[in-house]
Amino acid sequence: MRRSEIVVFITFLALSLVSCKQQRSFTSEQEDLFRQASQNGVTVNEGYNRCLKYLDGWLGLADSATGLIPRNINDSISKDIWNAKDCAADNYPFMVLTSALLDRNIFDGKMKEMLETEKRLTSRIGNMPDTYSFSKKGFATSDTLLDEIIFGSAEYIKDGLIPLTEWLGPSPWSERLIAILDDIWKYAPVKTPYGNICSDNPEVNGDMLQSLSRIYWTTGEKKYLEWAERLGDYYLLGNNHPTNNFKVLRLRDHGCEIVSGLCELYATVTFAEPSKKEIYKAPIYAMLDRILEVGRNEDGLFYNSIDPVKGIPVNDGIADNFGYTLNGYYTVYLLDKIEKYREPVLKALDVLNKKYKNFAWEGTSQDGYADAIEGALNLYAREPVPSASEWINSEIKVMWNMQKPSGIIEGWHGDGNFARTTIMYCLWKTGGAYLLPWRDDLQIGGVLKDNTLYLTITSASGWKGKVMFDKKRHSEYMHLPFDWPRINQFPEYFTVEKEKIYTISTSKALKDKVINGDELHDGFPVKIRKGETIKLIIK
């Protein structure tokens, strides 16, 4: 060997030894957790890229003049309109959420432009929106129907603007929410002994109970609690009790909102007005007990609708929204520690993998799968029944397989729920962490164990950016007194708190990084070489 070759060899060996010294060794148990995290990363990559395809597909359907998306693409009338109860409530918000996580250029551009356009073109009574026709370049109808406008506005708030506010915190969407909410109650047309309320429709009032109970805490403004209590008094203290007086009580969507809405109000008054809690307690218990008695099949899942007075099902199909109703039960359990309100949650989660794989939710609609999986994910975050995770993992694949190559799923406003539940699922698989900026070759997976998060991050072509960690959004953004389970929330897993200190161990360095929570809120910088996998332990 020539001298020059020896020098090159020794230099290579020295560099290799230095490199080896910089690589951290992990225990066999930690390596097992990293292997699970890597598997999760593959799944998350698929899920997020499906969400981007959904976003691109629907942006391609937007009206050329306004930039607004149509209600659906399956009939000529729906192709021509943007409306509040469907487009604005169920599809557009989850385009916003997708872009907030995965494409900030679209988020800061087209999504904010859509909001400003929607405000300018569709606001009809104050800030409340009405249906807009692309062909007419104006409202779809000449009549101004207050009840319909309030219905659409309530749906837009609860299904669309509330989840965006819970994820984003203060934003243009939270401002839109408050403006619409205030005008709903400014024009509230239904007179009752307890004061005017916005509707006599249980779906609308359920939407309002959920929204007002959260916005009261978010803003601290007493008027939102007063409006919510008008509704609570109307349903719990008068002749409109859901199980004592309703001839038909829907336990699926478009009706089940009243049950969980009343339970959210019960949670709110527990802290804000304890004397009111004592007044509401007996009628809340009566409602929950009667539904348990006559509203479930032998597996513990709810019928679509019941006659609660006669105690018989009206529609004995199984509600895909079982989780939404069980949210209310679990909330009351957390408050009052009554085990019989926890048991229905455990029973429902336990039966899913045994008997409800590939089940015909809503006639096999992806929307039925989206709602059923969301409900299970939200409850599993509180009660991790092992078989429920198996069911969630199998059923997400069923839902994903319904997406077309174009990115469109079924071509109607329910496509947004596909993205909502997919994002919720992916955040579960990362412990709430995500990457900015996202790119389609990235994989991030996580496993949370003993309050410690194990992450792997892989890039096929090299990447530089930040790992973003979740916050206690229920307290930091919403100021809720506790994190009760609720529709369209995104469960919190590994959350960074500003006042705490964190250590981050990485496979690229022997020394731990010590960082305060306030700094970690802004993300942890990472640089990855082509084909490299980085392992992180955060605690």
Token digits for 272? 């804000």
Q: Which residues pair with 312 in a beta bridge?
A: 307
SS3 347: helix
Question: Which helix (H) or strand (E) element contains residue 446?
Answer: strand 442-449
- 431-471 pLDDT, tens digit per residue, is 999 999 999 999 999 999 999 999 999 999 999 999 999 99
From first to last of its 539 residues, the chain has per-residue pLDDT tens of: 555 554 444 444 444 444 444 568 899 999 999 999 999 999 999 999 999 999 999 999 999 999 999 999 999 999 999 999 999 999 999 999 999 999 999 999 999 999 999 999 999 999 999 999 999 999 999 999 999 999 999 999 999 999 999 999 999 999 999 999 999 999 999 999 999 999 999 999 999 999 999 999 999 999 999 999 999 999 999 999 999 999 999 999 999 999 999 999 999 999 999 999 999 999 999 999 999 999 999 999 999 999 999 999 999 999 999 999 999 999 999 999 999 999 999 999 999 999 999 999 998 899 999 999 999 999 999 999 999 999 999 999 999 999 999 999 999 999 999 999 999 999 999 999 999 999 999 999 999 999 999 999 999 999 999 999 999 999 999 999 999 999 989 999 999 999 999 999 999 888 999 999 999 999 999 999 999 999 999 99
For residue 103, which phi and psi values (nearest 5 degrees)? -155, 90
- 243-287 pLDDT, tens digit per residue, is 999 999 999 999 999 999 999 999 999 999 999 999 999 999 999
Q: What b/e string do you get for 295-334 counting C-beta neighbours within 10 Å, with b at 16 or more?
A: bbeeebbbbbbbebeeeebbeebbbbbbbbbbbbbbbbbb
CB atoms within 10 A of CB 13: 10
Q: What is the DSSP string of 76-97?
A: HHHHTEE-IIIIIIIIHHHHHH
Q: Which residues pair with 464 in a beta bridge?
A: 527
Say if strands 132-133 and 81-82 run parallel, antiparallel, or are unpaired: antiparallel
Rounded Cα distance, 449 and 105, in Å = 34
227: Cβ contacts below 8 Å, ≥ 6 apart: 185, 188, 197, 208, 212
Q: Is residue 115 within 8 Å of residue 173, measured between CB atoms?
A: yes
Q: Is residue 174 within 8 Å of residue 165, measured between CB atoms?
A: yes
The structural domains of the chain, with segments of one domain joined by +, span 69-187, 441-469+496-538
* CATH of range 441-469+496-538; options 1.10.4160, 2.60.40, 3.40.720, 2.40.10: 2.60.40
